[in-house]
Amino acid sequence: MNYYEICMFRINLRVMLLFSYLITATVTLSLLLSFWLLKKKNKSTSKFEKILMYVLAGVFFLRFMWRKDSLSDSYMLHSNNFDSEFLNAYSIIVTWFTYASTLILILYPFFEIRGKNVLVKYFVLPMSIISSASFFILGIAIDGRLAFETFNLRMLIMACEFGLTLSLGIMVFCSNGFFKSNKSELKILWYLPLLLLATMPPYVLQGLFGRVKYSVELKSFKLPHRIILYFAFIIPVALYLLFRKKDQETKRAVLLYISLGTLMSFSVGYKFPDFLDITHWPFHLCNTAMYIVAICLIFKWNKLFYFTYFINVLGALLAMLMPNYSSSSNLFDSSLVNFYINHYIAFFMPLLIVALGVYARPKLKEFIYSMIGFLVYFVLVLILNAWFSNYGNVDYFFVNSDFIADKLGAWCEKLRDNHIWHFTIGELNFTFYPVYQLLFFLVYVALGAGVWFVYEGAYSFVDTIYDILARKEKIKLDKIALEISLNGRGIDEPMNKTNKNKLVLNNFSKRYGKSDVYAVKDASLEIHGGEIFGFLGSNGAGKSTIIKSIVGIQPITSGSIEVCGYDVDKQSVMAKKNIGFVPDHYALYEKLTGREYINYIADLYDVSLEDRTKSINKYVDLFELNDAFDNQIKTYSHGMKQKIAIMSALVHNPKVWILDEPLTGLDPNSIYQVKVCMKEHAKKGNIVFFSSHLIDIVEQLCDRIAIIKKGKILTVQNVEDIEKECSLEEYYLKVASQKVMPTKVKPESNTSTSEPKPNKNN
């Protein structure tokens, strides 16, 4: 280069650099002036800011995708851009942080998150100032040493981008009290390392630290490979624990940020010039996940999301177990880092999205849709593989080469190579391996079906864990509430002393799971000591639901139940001590003898030896079990087992005896014996509460009855009053014929499906 050329180079450089700074300054000042005028006229700036964010997103996308960044070839603080190690490190770090700050700014107006302005004020704005001041260094780092030698449209676009980020950062700074921030809002800065990590370009580790030679071991399943795989499970668990208690708006914003940030990192290898080569298009299964996850979080395309949930997750896991990279790579090589960024996201992001409740757990129809989507994708890659192979080496989804067949053995290679379908269209050659590729598809579908069952098992496990944790928390809270309610009285005393000899339901309601109707709604009853109370209703009316809630088998949705003054929910142990229960479907320990079983139940209720002996002798004689009582229960008939269930319910002489369809399947003699027990127990001042379909038995035994239909108690009446006008059967048919609709659950607002809220500035 002669003296003249050197002079012209310096002039061009200065002109280009000056022009770039002028663009940045012009954009910044003009936008700030517009912002000031809107403020002066007391007009909202939210729409203005949102429009600018869209413009920023477009400008950044254009600059980012223009062509390969020069600093992506940096290696251990050395590059063709700078002779100084400091400048190489500085340019890599500032470029990385600029990506994070730009993405935060783009998403800023679309989500209402507490403390988001703190991120802009204390990170985005400082980074905007630093990047604008370092424009010359960053320009060379991104576009090479000759970035400013001649007219460079990419640098001018970057100048506009920096002007936008700087002006938007200042707008947020001014609109949110300058340096004023609550301490609680400042906590959001603790999440900054996560936000930075999500946008880290794959060349950062190689550029800063160079080479870590673990690649040979990574191809096997040795410790280094396993450690990298462990992170695929550790990262989503950590993110779940970090954000599970956040609101849906925050969850979706964070997930979208991570998705877009990692998509930016992944796209370092896919710039506009790369798309000119059709063999380089990102059609690999896990490549598609990078785009699908982001699209689904932005546009909420449910059916497309469940494709990635079932198909991409499985593909990413298999790819990480069987990584596809050369032994010459090093652990920090940008292509290897990009491989794991891609497959980590494809593997855990769909799982994390469902775990955090942004998308609902899939049902069978979503699984079927995902399989249909996979069929479309599979046929597409078969065609593209055969077509694009005319222009270069293409192997989307690894169905065009022997990559998978080689790992499965000689039998699979023979299957592939012995069945080839080849034809030409014009000058294009098309090759398919129909048997191998069909088998490939069917095996993957079978694995996908297996994933469905794995998910179902995982859901069940997680639900169980949360149910246990919720119950523990509830027990803790109930204990505190009980101590407050008892007001210094003993913990064994009833909460409500006035109901010591009563069974009371107060507006009891029960809803199963996420059902859209209540099994029972607002049921209220008051049953007194000495009463035999009958509970009538058709199958599914809600009888067993109420009974199971009284005895504590299932939790109460709302309302309360008291047994002898003890709250079933808060004093469950004391309430159960006062209950004897005969279920409709009993489960006995059939390897025990009748005597062993009754003694076991008596031990649970702390029944003294004297009392239990007296009770056992009484009921063994009444139920005529003398010859069989010391035999194993498995040798008993149905009626005998029913009698053992009744004895176990009465051995502790409960104040409330509850029976659910107790007479079904019993012979006349046994029915009579049970009726005698019920009358005798009520005469002692105890409560006998039972459900039955045998209306004539109810009419003979009961003092009062209740009729329930579709979860609603329609009537509570004295049997004597009913019989003055008609039989109980006629009365029941009359009441039960009323048209009753089940009570529907009021829909709750679902924030996970709401549109992102715009930022509102006064």
pLDDT digits (tens, 9 = 90+) for 599-656: 999 999 999 999 999 999 999 998 889 989 999 999 998 889 989 999 999 999 999 9
Query: Are 285 and 416 in a shared domain?
Result: yes
Q: Which helix (H) or strand (E) element contains residue 344? A: helix 334-355
Look at residue 753 and tell me whether its pLDDT is greater than 50: no
Q: Which helix (H) or strand (E) holds 7?
A: helix 3-40
Regarding whether 158 and 27 lie in a shared domain, the answer is: yes
C-alpha closest to that of 332 among 21, 646, 92: 92
Last residue in a domain, options 491, 524, 557: 491
Query: What would the two tokens of residue 338 be?
Result: 């990009």
Which pLDDT value is given to residue 751?
Answer: 39
Q: Is residue 531 domain-shared with residue 442, that is, in the same domain?
A: no
User: 422 near 430, Cβ under 8 Å?
Assistant: yes
Closest CA relative to residue 687, chosen from 478, 569, 540, 547: 547
Phi-psi map region of 626: left, alpha, beta (phi>0 left; psi -120 to 50 alpha):
alpha
How far apart, in whole angstroms, are the C-alpha atoms of residue 376 and residue 359? Answer: 23
Residues 153 and 114 occupy one common structural domain:
yes
439 HSE (CA, 13 A, CB side): 12
CA 525 to mean position of chain CA atoms: 39
Using pLDDT thresholds of 50, 70 and 90, give the confidence band for residue 691: very high
pTM passes above 0.75: no
483 and 379 share a domain?
yes
Is 39 within the bounds of a domain? Answer: yes
Does residue 760 sit within a domain? no
Same domain, 189 and 232: no
Percentage of the residues of the chain whose pLDDT score is greater than 70: 94
Q: What pLDDT score does 329 carry?
A: 58
Average pLDDT, the chain: 88
Q: Please check the confidence at residue 378 and state whether its pLDDT lies above 90.
A: yes
Same-domain status, 323 and 410: yes
Residue 758 lies in a domain: no
Q: What does the pLDDT read at residue 488?
A: 77
Same domain flag for 218 and 198? no
How large is the average pLDDT for residues 654-680? 88
In-domain check, residue 749: no
Number of domains into which the chain is organized: 3
Return the structure tokens found at 702.
């009961």
Q: DSSP secondary structure string, 479-518?
A: HHHHHHHHTTS-TTS-S-GGGTTEEEEEEEEE--TT-SB-
Looking at residue 754, the DSSP 8-state letter turns out to be S
Same-domain check for residues 289 and 148: no
Q: What is the mean pLDDT of residues 387-398?
A: 92
Return the pLDDT at 13: 65
- Residue 747 has what DSSP assignment? P
Please count the other Cβ atoms lying within 10 Å of the Cβ belonging to residue 26.
13
Domain presence at residue 27: yes
What is the end-to-end Cα distance of the chain in Å, rounded? 59
Residue 753 domain flag: no
Which of the residue ranges 138-142, 153-157, 275-279, 320-324 would you say has the lowest mean pLDDT?
A: 320-324
Same domain, 274 and 301: yes
Confidence of residue 750 (pLDDT cuts 50, 70, 90): very low
Specify if 258 maps to a domain: yes
**Sheet strand arrangement including 566-567:** 520-528, 502-510, 558-563, 566-567
574 shares a domain with 476? no
Amino acid identity for residue 444 in this structure? Y
| Domain assignment of residue 666, given as a range | 506-736
Residue 628: which CATH number?
3.40.50.300
One domain, residues 273 and 204: no
**What pLDDT is recorded for position 183?**
82
Distance CA(405)–CA(401), nearest Å, equals: 8
Angle between helices 334-355 and 248-266 (to 10 degrees): 160
Per-residue model confidence (pLDDT) at position 457 = 86
Identify the domain boundary among 491, 526, 560: 491
- From 428, 459, 491, the end of a domain falls on 491
**Residue 656 counted as domain residue:** yes
Distance CA(242)–CA(124), nearest Å, equals: 23
Region 328-338: mean pLDDT is 79
Contacts of 588 (CB under 8 A, 6+ apart): 597, 633, 641, 644, 645
What's residue 756's pLDDT? 40
